[in-house]
Amino acid sequence: MASTISKPEYESRSISPTDVEAGSTGETPNHTYPDGGRDAWLQCLGLFCVSVATWGLINSYGVFQVYYSAVTLKGRPPQDISWIGSIQMFLMIGLGAPIAPLVDAGYFRHLMASGSFLIVLGTMMTSLAKTYTQIFLAQGVCTGVGMGLIYMPAMVCVNSWFDKRKGIAMGLGIMGSSIAGVCFPILMRHLYLKPNIEFAWTVRIIAFIVLLALLTANLTMRPNFAKNHRAAPKPAITDLFDWPFTLYAAGAVIGFLGVFIPYFYLSSHAILLGINRDLSFYLLSIMNGASVFGRVLPNLLADRVGGLNSSIPFALASGALLFGWIGIETEEGLIALAVLYGFFSGAFVSLPPMVIGTMTPNVNHLAMKVGVGFMLLSPAMLAGPPIAGALWRGGDMVGTQAFAGSTAVVAGVFFVAARWKMVGWRVWVKV
| 394: CB partners within 8 A, 6+ apart | none
Give the separation between CA 162 and CA 47, rounded to whole angstroms. 13
Report the C-alpha gap between 163 and 33 in whole angstroms: 6
Q: Distance between CA atoms of 369 and 185, rounded to whole angstroms?
A: 34
Q: In the prediction, which pLDDT does 189 show? A: 79
User: What number is the average pLDDT over the span 324-353?
Assistant: 92
Structural domain harbouring 208: 11-23+33-228+236-423
Instruction: Report the C-alpha gap between 389 and 412 in whole angstroms.
Output: 24
Does residue 430 belong to any structural domain of this protein? no
How much is the average pLDDT of 347-367? 79
Looking at the predicted structure, is the pLDDT value of residue 28 above 60?
no
In the prediction, which pLDDT does 239 show? 64
Residues 235-294 have pLDDT tens digits of 666 667 888 899 999 999 999 999 999 988 898 889 888 887 778 778 988 998 998 898
The pLDDT value given to residue 23:
36
Mean pLDDT of 379-389: 89
Quote the CA–CA distance of 64 and 175 in Å, as a whole number.
22
Q: In this predicted structure, which of 54-68, 113-127, 150-164, 222-236 has the lowest mean pLDDT? A: 222-236
Given a contact cutoff of 8 angstroms between Cβ atoms, the answer to whether 308 and 248 are in contact is yes
Report the pLDDT value the prediction gives residue 367, as an integer from 0 to 100. 74
Tell me the pLDDT band of 211, cut-offs 50, 70 and 90. Answer: very high
Using the predicted structure, report yes or no on whether residue 41 has a pLDDT greater than 90: yes
The single-letter DSSP state of residue 139 is: I
Total residue length of the chain: 431
Whether residue 2 is contained in a domain is answered as no
pLDDT at 107 over 70: yes
C-alpha to C-alpha distance for 317 and 312, rounded to whole angstroms: 9
| Count of CB atoms situated within 10 Å of the CB of 403 | 18
Tell me if 314 sits within 8 A of 346, measured CB to CB. no
Tell me how far apart the alpha carbons of residues 123 and 138 are, in angstroms, rounded to a whole number: 7
Per residue in 403-427, pLDDT (tens digit) is 999 999 999 999 999 999 988 898 8
Is residue 342 one of the residues assigned to a domain?
Answer: yes
Specify the CATH number for the domain of residue 200: 1.20.1250.20
Per-residue model confidence (pLDDT) at position 280: 78
Measured at the CA of 26, the angle between CA 22 and CA 27, to 5 degrees, comes to 110
Range scoring the smallest mean pLDDT among 73-87, 109-123, 383-397: 383-397
Distance CA 162, CA 307 (A): 14
- DSSP H or E run through 223: none
Beta bridge mates, 393: 396
pLDDT, one tens digit per residue, over 145-166 is 999 999 989 988 998 888 888 8
Q: How confident is the model at residue 58 (pLDDT cuts 50, 70, 90)?
A: very high
Q: How far apart are the C-alpha atoms of 54 and 382, rounded to whole Å?
A: 15
Does the pLDDT value for residue 13 go beyond 60?
no
Lowest average pLDDT, out of 28-32, 84-88, 353-357, 392-396, goes to 28-32
Confidence of residue 392 (pLDDT cuts 50, 70, 90): confident
Least confidently predicted of 212-221, 326-335, 345-354:
345-354
Note whether 307 and 358 are within 8 A (CB): yes
92, pLDDT greater than 80? yes
Q: Is residue 5 part of a domain?
A: no
Of 425, 115, 376, 386, residue with least CA distance to 250: 376
Residue 244, domain member (yes or no) = yes
Q: Is 50 exceeded by the pLDDT of residue 14?
A: no
370 has a pLDDT exceeding 90? no
- Average pLDDT rounded to a whole number, residues 196-211: 90
Q: Which of 155, 149, 156 is nearest to 173 (CA)?
A: 155
- pLDDT of residue 180 exceeding 90: yes
- Give the chain's mean pLDDT: 85
Predicted local confidence at residue 16, as pLDDT:
33
Residue 203 in domain: yes
Helix, coil or strand: residue 198: coil
What SS3 class is residue 423? Answer: helix
pTM, two decimals, is: 0.78
Quote the number of domains for the chain: 1
**CB proximity list for 130: less than 8 A, separation 6 or greater:** 72
CA dist., res. 116 & res. 331, Å (int): 38
Phi, psi of 181 (to 5 degrees): -65, -25
Find the mean pLDDT for residues 375-402: 88
Is 6 inside a domain boundary? no
Q: What is the pLDDT of residue 26?
A: 41
CA distance 431 to 429: 6
Share of the chain above pLDDT 90, in %: 46
Annotate 145-160 with b (16+ C-beta within 10 A) or e (fewer).
bbbbbbbbbbbbbbbb
pLDDT of residue 6: 39
Distances (CA, A) of 167 to 9, 24, 110, 336, 339: 20, 13, 27, 27, 22
Average pLDDT (164-191) is 87
Question: Residue 96 CA to chain centroid, in angstroms?
Answer: 12
Q: How far apart are CA 79 and CA 85, in angstroms?
A: 10
pLDDT in the model for residue 347: 86
Mean pLDDT of 332-351: 92
Confidence of residue 342 (pLDDT cuts 50, 70, 90): very high
> Could you tell me if residue 18 is inside a domain?
yes
From CA 347, how far away is CA 304, in angstroms rounded? 15
The closest alpha carbon to 33, from 163, 173, 153, belongs to 163
Percent of the chain with pLDDT over 70: 88
